Amino acid sequence: MKIAIAADHGGFPLKPTILDAVRAAGHEPLDLGTFTPEAVDYPDYAKKIGDAILAGQAERGILLCGSGVGACIAANKIPGIYAGLAHDTYSAHQGVEHDDMNVLCLGARIIGPEVAKELVAAFVSAKFTAEERHLRRTGKVREMEKGNL
Ligand code: RB5
C-alpha cells in the first residue's frame, strides 16, 4: 500500500522514523515534505496528504505536527479524509477497523520514535471491517459531510 507522509516543522524531526516504519511494515511511503526544519503551516501539509489520497496517489496518510491536533483539525476539513489523532495502538488500528480512518495524525512533541513505530505498524496493518453497524455509522458521517445530516 502507498502511504502519503507529510509533516510541518513540528513533525519534521519524527518524519524519518515514520518513513522507515512504513517501509519496515512492507508498505511504500510517499514523502510530501516538509523537507527542512524551517517553520511552515500545518494546513498546507494536511492539504498535500488529502490531495494525494483523493487523487489515488496514496491509499492512506500519516500526518505529523507538534501535537498532532492542528494537523488533525485541518485534515478533517477535506471531504473524503477521515483523520484521527492516536497516540495509543488500540486507537491507531480501531480507527481504521471501525471508523475507516484514512489519515493517522501524530504529535512529534508528544511521542518518541519507538511508540511512533508501533503506532505506524498498527495503523498500516488494520483494515476496515465493513460490518453493518460500522457502515451505518460511517455512512452517517458521509451524509454529515454533504450537509444532509
Ligand atoms: C507548530 O509550532 C505547532 O503549533 C504545530 O506543529 C502543531 O502542534 C499544531 O497543532
Instruction: Report all structural domains of the chain as residue ranges with CATH numbers, in order of start.
Output: 2-147 (3.40.1400.10)
Q: How far is residue 83 from each of residues 24, 35, 46, 73, 107, measured CA to CA in Å?
A: 23, 22, 10, 8, 13
Find the 75 Cα to ligand 1 centroid distance in Å.
14
Residue type, 61: G
Q: Which of 74, 73, 43, 64 minimizes the C-alpha distance to 109? A: 64
4-47, pLDDT tens digit by residue?
999 999 999 999 999 999 999 999 999 999 999 999 999 999 99
Q: Strand runs (DSSP E) across 1-139, as ranges?
A: 2-7, 28-31, 60-65, 83-85, 103-107
| pLDDT per position as a tens digit, 115-126 | 999 999 999 999
Which ligand 1 atom sits closest to the C-alpha of 107? 8
Question: Average pLDDT of 88-108?
Answer: 98
CA of 148 to the centre of ligand 1 (A): 32
